[in-house]
């Protein structure tokens, strides 16, 4: 049985229990992170912990653990769950257990939970052929840079995509691309890569950072710039990035081919750079 961590203890996942009064359960009052671990090594751990700190700051919750404590807990968890296999570590912090009331409780300890599971990578077929997406209106709140556990809008948007037989929803706010329901978005036009700039409208993805770094250090043209709906629809290539999917090509958008309907040349370059970068670690 998978081992998990709950409030200072390591235990089997099916033994971990929290109160029904937990504010994460009742109010979605908490934040989370998803961190890959390749061959037992947590990927960009410091960046994920920094983003966690920003999310906690965004919801006015004190970080219950120091950076060293987080590193220790998460590494132990990976080691206990077959480190040979690539893992995806999920952690969540909620405002703890208290009588239900919207306003913050006083002197309540945060609930800290973490688990580690094998990463379910897209199949080689999906990687080689790309995925399909639809565009939907981004009806989420105005603080999407906070990695909040309250994901109901993202859940409904992703399910709408699934109901329409596609893999992801690419979201538009005021005519501009923000991100995917659970990914960041890149487009390529005439060999120039573009991704929306960081703002409260989107999550500052760690994979997005890696793509920006790899592109810049390999002399690819990459910019952080607003992407209009028209630019998305006429792009030569569209990519999605996330910790669990890495960089995936979107080859069909709103039932129409993107480019020639196959992952493009620039995607091939970035995808092999990503692979080489991972192998070097």
Residues forming the active site: 147
- Told to check if 91 binds ligand PDD by CB under 6 A, we report no
Question: Rule CB under 6 A: is residue 207 a binding residue for ligand PDD?
Answer: yes
The correct pick among 3, 87, 111, 183 for binding ligand PDD (CB under 6 A) is: 183
Stretch that binds ligand PDD, among 96-104, 228-236, 241-249, 272-280 (CB under 6 A): 241-249
Binding flag, residue 244, ligand PDD (CB under 6 A): yes
Please report whether residue 205 would count as binding ligand PDD according to CB under 6 A.
yes
Stretch that binds ligand PDD, among 126-134, 218-226, 238-246, 255-263 (CB under 6 A): 238-246
Contact between 55 and ligand PDD per CB under 6 A: no
User: Rg of the Cα trace of the chain?
Assistant: 19
Question: What does the DSSP 8-state code read for residue 97?
Answer: B
CB 241 within 8 A of CB 247: yes
Cα–Cα distance measured from residue 244 to residue 33, given in angstroms and rounded to the nearest whole number: 12
| Phi/psi-derived region of residue 72, left when phi > 0, alpha when psi is between -120 and 50, beta in every other case | alpha
φ/ψ of 225, rounded to 5, equals: -150, 150
Asked if residue 29 binds ligand PDD (CB under 6 A), the reply is no
Show contacts with ligand PDD in window 63-82 (CB under 6 A): none
Q: How many CB atoms lie within 10 A of CB 11?
A: 13
Nearest CA to 266 out of 218, 224, 226 is that of 218
Site for ligand PDD in 110-169 (CB under 6 A): 154
Residue (of 64, 17, 74) closest to 41 by Cα position: 74
Q: Tell me which residues touch ligand PDD (CB under 6 A).
A: 34, 154, 179, 182-184, 203, 205-208, 241-244
């Amino acid at each position: 049985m998978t081992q998990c961590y709950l409030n200072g203890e390591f235990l089997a996942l099916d033994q971990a229990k929290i109160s029904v009064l937990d504010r994460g359960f009742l109010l979605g009052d908490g934040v989370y992170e998803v961190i890959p671990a390749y061959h037992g090594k947590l990927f960009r751990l410091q960046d994920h912990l920094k983003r966690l700190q920003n999310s906690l700051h965004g919801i006015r919750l004190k970080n219950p653990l120091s950076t060293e404590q987080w590193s220790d807990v998460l590494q132990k968890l990976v080691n206990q769950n077959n480190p040979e296999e690539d893992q995806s570590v999920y952690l969540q912090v909620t405002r703890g257990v208290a009588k239900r009331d919207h306003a913050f409780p006083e002197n309540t300890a945060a609930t800290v939970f973490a688990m580690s599971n094998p990463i379910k990578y897209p199949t080689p077929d999906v990687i080689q052929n790309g995925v399909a997406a639809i565009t939907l209106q981004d009806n989420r709140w105005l603080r999407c840079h906070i990695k909040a556990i309250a994901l109901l809008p993202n859940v409904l948007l992703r399910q709408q995509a699934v109901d329409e037989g596609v893999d992801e929803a690419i979201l538009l706010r005021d005519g501009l691309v923000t991100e995917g329901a659970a990914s960041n978005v890149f487009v390529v036009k005439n060999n120039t890569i573009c991704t929306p700039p960081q703002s409260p409208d989107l999550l500052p993805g760690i994979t997005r950072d890696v793509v920006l770094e790899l592109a810049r250090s390999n002399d690819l043209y990459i910019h952080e710039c607003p992407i209009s709906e028209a630019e998305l629809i006429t792009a030569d290539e569209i990519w999605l990035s996330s910790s669990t999917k890495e960089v995936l090509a979107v080859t069909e958008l709103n039932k129409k081919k993107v480019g020639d309907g196959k992952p493009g040349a620039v995607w091939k370059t970035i995808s092999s750079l990503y692979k080489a970068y991972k192998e070097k670690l």
